[in-house]
Amino acid sequence: VQLQASGGGLVQAGGSLRLSCAPSGRAFNTYAAAWFRQAPGKEREFVAAISWTGSTSYLADFAKGRFTISRDNAKNTVYLQMNNLKPDDTAVYYCAGSRAPVVEVPRCMEFDYWNYWGQGTLVTVSS
């Protein structure tokens, strides 16, 4: 499964962006999905995950209260709504998919839980 992330860009601090992730080649609606990010000079870190039904989601502590992960299986797309963005949110954001339909915490925070990765979309937050 090839995943395509989009929606990144340049935004001022306090602004919002919505990232989208869609697969090419096959349906994505039976897979759990997640977002990770990697800031310059830092390791890739977990942001959020959602089960295939959308009934279960989990956010990293820094994302709680500002980010929301959701999915529209009819559109075969997973979203990351990011509000009140801060300069520290500047990073390349990657979407990921797992053949497992559920979100297991804390395993879902580990890279090897996820079988498929997208190419990333750059989010830059200016102060």
The sign of the torsion formed by the CA atoms of 54, 79, 45, 127 equals negative
Pairing of strands 121-126, 57-59: unpaired
- Interval 23-34 mean pLDDT: 83
Q: Which tops the pLDDT comparison, 105 or 17?
A: 17
> How confident is the model over 37-88, as pLDDT tens digits?
999 999 999 999 999 999 999 999 999 999 999 999 999 999 999 999 999 9
Largest CA distance in the chain: 39
On the question of pLDDT at 1 being above 90, the answer is no
Residue 30 has what pLDDT? 81
Which of the four pLDDT bands, split at 50, 70 and 90, describes residue 36?
Answer: very high
Please give the Cα distance from 53 to 28 (Å, whole number).
11
Phi, psi of 65 (to 5 degrees): 85, -15
pLDDT (average), residues 99-109: 90
Q: 5, 118 in Cβ contact below 8 A?
A: yes
